[in-house]
């Protein structure tokens, strides 16, 4: 019997390690994909008459390389004798709607770079959604008293999130589980709490609820089925009986 405890403990460690890795993979999947791609764009708009001043302000702020305007987008068009490169702004100006060289692509680009707000024409500037380039560009333009709309392209319904300090709640419950009486089999209780720790890495409401539910479930399992040397297979049976409860919290994760 004394020789079986290390084997059982090793199997228990391996099982919980795999479980923790699975939870960590799930958290990474929720936080890194499939939300929005790294190459997605956000947009801000300035009056068309202020475009030259806006480009100068962005260049002075060192942001011209991160902004895409109609002057930075190159198109290949025909001048009836050869193919030439034109900026999108020049193409819009030189190729009228009745020109045979006018293509649906040029029409779509013109709608993407110019919008009508009342009687004014505004031009759109694009930048990467991730990072702070959109905020920096807005600040640089407002510093030069250039009207700017920076909400174009923003998410219509931002996801629920909580403070990064919210993991303290799960940590407090986990520490209570570890320190609660009776204090026998401390190593098993500690491993149970650590297996749910990856859920605390994300600041989403779903991850916080799942971490709380997992630690609460672990404490319930331990209180009802304490792992002792004579409890052969009790923990596996307890986890199996709690699978319906875990299925109930699965929608909060997915």
Residue 209 and residue 248: Cα distance in Å, rounded? 12
Per-residue pLDDT, averaged over 20-25, amounts to 62
Residue 187 and residue 89: Cα distance in Å, rounded? 68
Q: For residue 145, what pLDDT band results from cuts at 50, 70 and 90?
A: confident
Per-residue pLDDT, averaged over 225-250, amounts to 50
At 118-135, the pLDDT tens digits run 888 898 888 877 667 788
**DSSP string of 138-182, one letter each residue:** HHHHHHTT---B--TT--SSPPPB--GGGHHHHHHHHHHHHHSSS
pLDDT at 50 over 80: yes
For position 233, what pLDDT does the model report?
A: 52
For 3, phi then psi, to 5°, come to -75, -15
- Which range among 181-185, 194-198, 231-235 shows the weakest confidence by mean pLDDT? 231-235
Encoded tokens for 47: 């009056």
- Which range among 174-178, 189-193, 197-201, 240-244 shows the weakest confidence by mean pLDDT? 240-244
For position 98, what pLDDT does the model report?
A: 87
Q: Are 123 and 113 in contact (CB under 8 A)?
A: yes
pTM recorded for the entire structure: 0.46
**Which of 215, 200, 57 lies closest to 136, judged by CA?**
57
Per-residue pLDDT, averaged over 12-26, amounts to 61
- Which range among 42-46, 82-86, 182-186, 247-251 shows the weakest confidence by mean pLDDT? 247-251
pLDDT at 34 over 60: no
Before 216, cis peptide (omega within 30)?
no
pLDDT at 51 over 80: yes
Sign of CA pseudo-dihedral 133, 85, 113, 109: negative
- Which residues, including other chains, have CB under 8 Å from residue 149's CB and lie 6 or more apart? 44, 45, 46, 122
Q: For residue 161, what pLDDT band results from cuts at 50, 70 and 90?
A: very low
For position 1, what pLDDT does the model report?
A: 45
**Which of 59, 67, 60, 105 lies closest to 86, judged by CA?**
105
Q: Are 47 and 147 in contact (CB under 8 A)?
A: yes
For position 132, what pLDDT does the model report?
A: 75
Q: For residue 243, what pLDDT band results from cuts at 50, 70 and 90?
A: very low
């Amino acid at each position: 019997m004394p020789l079986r405890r290390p084997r059982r403990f090793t199997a228990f460690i391996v099982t919980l390690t795999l479980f923790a890795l699975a939870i960590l993979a799930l958290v990474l999947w929720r936080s890194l994909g499939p939300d929005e791609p790294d190459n997605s764009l956000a947009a801000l708009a300035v009056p068309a008459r202020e475009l030259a001043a806006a480009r100068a302000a962005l260049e002075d702020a060192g942001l011209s390389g991160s902004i895409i305007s109609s002057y930075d987008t190159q198109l290949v068009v025909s001048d009836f004798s050869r193919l030439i490169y034109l900026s999108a702004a020049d193409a819009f100006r030189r190729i009228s709607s009745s020109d045979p060289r006018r293509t649906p692509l040029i029409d779509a680009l013109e709608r993407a770079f110019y919008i009508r707000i009342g009687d004014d024409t505004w031009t759109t500037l694009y930048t990467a959604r991730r990072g702070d380039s959109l905020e920096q560009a807005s600040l640089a333009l407002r510093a030069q008293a250039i009207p700017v709309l920076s909400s174009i392209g923003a998410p219509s319904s931002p996801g629920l999130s909580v403070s990064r300090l919210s993991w303290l709640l799960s940590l407090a419950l986990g520490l209570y589980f570890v320190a609660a009486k009776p204090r026998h089999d401390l190593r098993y209780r500690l491993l149970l709490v650590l297996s749910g720790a990856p859920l605390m890495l994300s600041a989403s409401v779903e991850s916080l609820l799942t971490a709380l539910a997992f630690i609460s479930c672990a404490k319930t399992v331990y209180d009802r089925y304490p792992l002792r040397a004579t409890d052969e297979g009790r923990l596996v049976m307890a986890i199996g009986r709690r699978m319906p409860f875990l299925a109930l919290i699965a929608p909060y994760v997915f």
